[in-house]
Amino acid sequence: MGKDKEIAERKQAYRAKLENLLDTYKSILIVTADNVGSNQMQKIRIALRGKAILLMGKNTIMRKVVREKIPSAPKYERLLPEIVGNIGFVFTNADLNEVRRVIEEHKVPAAARVGTNAPGDCWIPSGPTGLDPGQTSFFQALNIATKIVKGAVEIMTDVHLIKQGQKVTPSHVSLLSKPDIKPFFYNMKVTHVFDDGALYAAAILDMSKDDLMKKFLHGVSVLTAFFLRIGVPNTATLSHNIAHAMQALLGIALATDLTFKQAEPFKEYLADPAAYAAKHGLSAGGPAKGATPAPAAAAPAAKKEEPKKEEEEDDDVGAGFGLFDE
């Protein structure tokens, strides 16, 4: 009974600590601790002092505490699917990139273990192995080209022995153990970030502000094009709606006797291009330095020697301004 009571007290203390951390910190880094030893984890805790708090524990208790928080804070529901496997929480209010760097820089070299998935690619470099010629058959069984140099086995070319994510076999372990190669590094890895209710992959932290701005602007442009196409005005389309409306009003003003302030320069140019050019210091080669250029949307003047085409040219002006464009 004494032992059961002690376990219950530890569970209660853990629950209280987790609840307090969830209430205190706005950001959580979700980390995996596969093949991370207790000594390595202790070094990470020490390095995080003053920046963050690492909390490991049983997934069942973690899920239960998070579920109890959901009625008062629904945002924590996003955490539940991530509480799977050998994971932990790193609570922080500091810079997320800095905290992640501290966590992942603590790496420990480790030998290959049978049945585990390789955390990275494993290469055996070419060169002498220090093994006697009697070991040649072993390398031949693995299709590794060797030669005998000065009474020792030498690998002729670099060998890509294990690919990332591949299962480590007994042959791999046996080969790597002969020259005492420790090909892998195990460390705690950040997989996801829970930041003030938003859950996203840790890879997002590698994106710069410029990358985020480009993606945001691309999204805005896509939404703008979509709403312009279906004819639904909103904040994103406002500038385009105003420009299209102004274009339509200019077309009406140029095709009728109606006018308004912004249309007057266009009407003046169409009435007498030569006088407009002289008034504003324009020449055949373009506007004079410091002069106000002619309206960019103005249509060419009607040719005096072809008065019969005047009506057709007026029609072209109206079409050019998109009066009836959809």
For residue 91, pLDDT beyond 90: yes
- Return the SS3 of 26: coil
Of the two residues 115 and 214, the one the predictor is more confident about is: 214
How is residue 192 written in tokens? Answer: 């996801």
Please measure the distance between the N-terminal and C-terminal CA atoms of the chain and give it in whole angstroms.
Answer: 82
Domains and CATH numbers, the chain: 2-107+187-206 (3.30.70.1730), 122-182 (3.90.105.20), 238-320 (no CATH)
Q: Using CA atoms, how far apart are residues 10 and 160, in angstroms rounded to an integer?
A: 48
Mean pLDDT, to the nearest integer, of 4-13? 85
Closest to 137 in 3D by CA, of 168, 174, 166, 167: 174
The residue behind tokens 């085409």 is 309
Q: Using CA atoms, how far apart are residues 57 and 59, in angstroms rounded to an integer?
A: 6
Mean pLDDT, to the nearest integer, of 137-156? 79
* CB distance 126 to 74 below 8 Å: no
Of the two residues 30 and 301, the one the predictor is more confident about is: 30
Q: Using CA atoms, how far apart are residues 33 and 25, in angstroms rounded to an integer?
A: 21
**Interval 279-315: pLDDT, tens:** 877 764 445 444 445 454 444 444 444 444 444 444 4
Q: Using CA atoms, how far apart are residues 310 and 173, in angstroms rounded to an integer?
A: 90
Closest to 190 in 3D by CA, of 252, 112, 101, 263: 101
**Interval 227-251: pLDDT, tens:** 888 888 888 888 888 888 888 888 8
How is residue 291 written in tokens? Answer: 């002069």
Q: If residue 91 lies in a helix (H) or strand (E), which one and from where to where?
A: strand 87-92
The 10 Å Cβ neighbour count of residue 201 is 11
pLDDT for 123: 78
Q: Using CA atoms, how far apart are residues 214 and 220, in angstroms rounded to an integer?
A: 10
The pLDDT confidence band at residue 29, using thresholds 50, 70 and 90, is: very high
pLDDT for 315: 45
Instruction: Determine whether 203 is exposed, middle or buried from the number of CB atoms within 10 Å of its CB (0-12, 13-18, 19+).
Output: exposed
Q: Using CA atoms, how far apart are residues 168 and 318, in angstroms rounded to an integer?
A: 75
Q: Using CA atoms, how far apart are residues 323 and 137, in angstroms rounded to an integer?
A: 85
Q: Using CA atoms, how far apart are residues 221 and 249, in angstroms rounded to an integer?
A: 25
Q: Pairing mode, if any, of strands 152-155 and 146-149?
A: antiparallel
How is residue 210 written in tokens? Answer: 């410029």
